[in-house]
């Protein structure tokens, strides 16, 4: 049995299904992200695991223990919220030790564990400081230390980095992953940020309208999405209509041979912008937009098959100008073929 097992977990509100019979296994020590747009059910799922939202049906098993009737305070979980929820009248050490005090941990052991938690998050010199005198990143570390100090079986993170600016958020992502790897703590992160989920996770759980679309390592979900929703949500993608005859795929007169036979019929082709190149004798088009993005250039091209986006590395040679006629090419290996059912969105 997996360390955390979710079996057909469902939550309904009157006639609305927020989470629709999802099942998921998480191994001990994994870092898993629940990823999806607002309203997809990811936060509700986390809150059911935490015990803050009552389960309509299904089971949550933590190390074989059914949590359905266990109060939140007795589930052995560490939780970090988006707001951090620090007590302004308490020092850093007092905030971190609050959970231990509620559990009636002895003073000597409490002091030892507070010191260890602050050392882990790099705040050992700020034990006597108050939250109002700390930056957002430092407050986030206090909240993390408070969750870790109780030595939880499972760490739940509810968009804990969303209030930080872009540069600090990126730095904290690295620190958070480093702490998780050092502690070996099984962790579930809720986020709508694709880059954050892919940077931190062993696996991502892409959710949409209360259901799970795909569960996979970040690289696999990005490179081989199983639905059009996943392809579109995990970064920008080009989705074009094509036709399969069983042995090849045709998009607007351009033909790619298949390594293995596939059922014939209408098909969608998904290809990432960074895999599309200018040149050759591929699809004809005209550049409609060209945007400098630092390390790369973004192009929007009007083509025979519809709009196509291209990402070209900065310094990769002469690049086309706006209104210039171009040809677009990519390889069979860079395409993901989606059936009509797989290509559904929403």
**Can you spell out the DSSP letters for 96-123?**
HHHHHHHTT--HHHHHHHHHHHHHHTT-
Give the pLDDT score at 326: 95
The reply to whether 344 falls in a domain is no
Cα–Cα distance for residue pair 143/299, rounded to 1 Å: 42
Return d(Cα 65, Cα 72) in angstroms, integer: 14
3-state secondary structure of 290: strand
Q: What is the number of domains present in the chain? A: 2
pLDDT in single tens digits along all 346 residues of the chain: 799 999 999 999 988 999 999 999 999 999 999 999 999 999 999 999 999 999 999 999 999 999 988 999 899 899 998 887 899 999 999 999 999 988 899 999 999 999 999 999 989 999 999 999 998 889 988 999 999 999 999 999 998 888 788 888 888 888 889 999 999 999 999 999 999 999 999 999 999 999 999 999 999 999 888 888 998 899 888 988 889 998 999 998 889 998 888 888 888 888 999 999 998 888 999 999 999 999 999 999 999 889 999 999 988 788 999 999 999 999 888 888 887 666 555 4
* Cβ atoms within 10 Å of 230's Cβ, excluding its own: 25
Q: Is position 36 within any domain?
A: yes
Clarify whether residues 90 and 180 are in a common domain. Answer: yes
Asked whether residue 128 is assigned to any structural domain, the reply reads yes
Final residue of a structural domain among 181, 205, 229: 229
> Are 153 and 246 found together in one domain?
no
Whole-number pLDDT of residue 267: 87
Q: Which residues contact 162 (CB under 8 A, 6 or more apart)?
A: 82, 169, 191, 193
The whole-model pTM stands at: 0.86
Asked whether residue 130 is domain-assigned, the answer is: yes
In a domain, 46, yes or no: yes
Q: How many CB atoms lie within 10 A of CB 184?
A: 10
CA atoms within 13 A on the CB side of 213: 31
For residues 137 and 250, membership in a common domain is answered with: no
Distance of alpha carbon 306 from the chain centroid = 29
Specify if 124 maps to a domain.
yes
Q: Where does the chain show beta strands of DSSP type E?
A: 4-13, 16-26, 31-35, 57-62, 65-66, 77-80, 154-158, 187-191, 203-208, 211-216, 238-244, 248-251, 254-257, 265-271, 277-292, 296-303, 306-313, 325-329, 335-338
The neighbour count for residue 227, using CB atoms within 10 Å, is 20
Domain of 165, CATH number, reads: 3.40.50.300
Are 188 and 46 in contact, with CB atoms under 8 Å apart?
yes
The whole-number pLDDT of residue 344 equals 55
Q: Is 191 helix (H, G, I), strand (E, B) or coil?
A: strand
Question: Does residue 53 sit in the same domain as residue 179?
Answer: yes
CA 193, distance to chain mean position in Å, is: 6
- Asked if 142 and 92 touch (Cβ cutoff 8 Å), the reply is yes
Q: Mark whether 43 and 163 lie in a shared domain.
A: yes
Is there a contact between 269 and 337 (Cβ–Cβ < 8 Å)?
yes
**What domain range includes position 285?**
239-338
Q: Is 51 left (phi over 0), alpha (psi -120 to 50) or beta?
A: left
């Amino acid at each position: 049995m997996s360390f955390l097992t979710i079996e057909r977990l469902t939550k309904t509100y009157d006639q609305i299904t927020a989470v629709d019979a999802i099942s998921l296994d998480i191994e001990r020590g994994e870092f898993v992200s629940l990823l999806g747009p607002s309203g997809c059910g990811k936060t509700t799922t986390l809150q059911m695991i935490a015990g803050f939202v009552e389960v309509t049906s299904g089971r949550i098993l933590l190390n074989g223990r059914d949590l359905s009737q266990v109060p939140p305070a007795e589930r052995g979980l560490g939780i970090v919220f988006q707001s951090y929820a620090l007590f302004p009248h308490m020092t850093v050490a007092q905030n971190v030790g609050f959970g231990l005090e509620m559990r009636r941990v002895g003073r000597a052991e409490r002091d030892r564990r507070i010191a260890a938690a602050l050392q882990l998050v790099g705040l050992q010199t700020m034990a006597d400081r108050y939250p109002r005198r700390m930056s957002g990143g430092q407050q986030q570390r206090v909240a993390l230390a408070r969750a870790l100090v109780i030595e939880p079986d499972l760490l739940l993170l509810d968009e804990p980095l969303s209030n930080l600016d872009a540069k600090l958020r990126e730095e904290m992502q690295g620190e958070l992953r480093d702490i998780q790897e050092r502690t070996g703590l099984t962790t579930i992160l809720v986020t709508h940020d694709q880059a954050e989920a892919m940077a931190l996770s062993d696996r991502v759980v892409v959710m949409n309208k209360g259901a799970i679309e795909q569960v996979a390592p970040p690289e696999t979900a990005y490179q081989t999405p199983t639905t059009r929703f996943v392809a579109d949500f995990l970064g920008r993608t080009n989705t074009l209509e094509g036709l399969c005859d069983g042995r090849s795929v045709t998009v607007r007169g351009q033909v790619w041979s298949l390594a293995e036979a596939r059922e014939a019929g209408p098909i969608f082709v998904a290809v990432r912008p960074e895999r599309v190149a200018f040149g050759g004798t591929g699809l004809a088009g005209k550049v409609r937009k060209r945007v400098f993005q630092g390390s790369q250039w973004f192009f929007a091209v009007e083509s025979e098959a519809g709009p196509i986006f291209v990402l070209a590395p900065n310094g990769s040679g002469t690049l086309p100008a706006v209104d210039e006629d171009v040809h677009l090419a990519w390889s069979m290996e860079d395409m993901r073929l989606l059936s009509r059912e797989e290509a559904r969105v929403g």
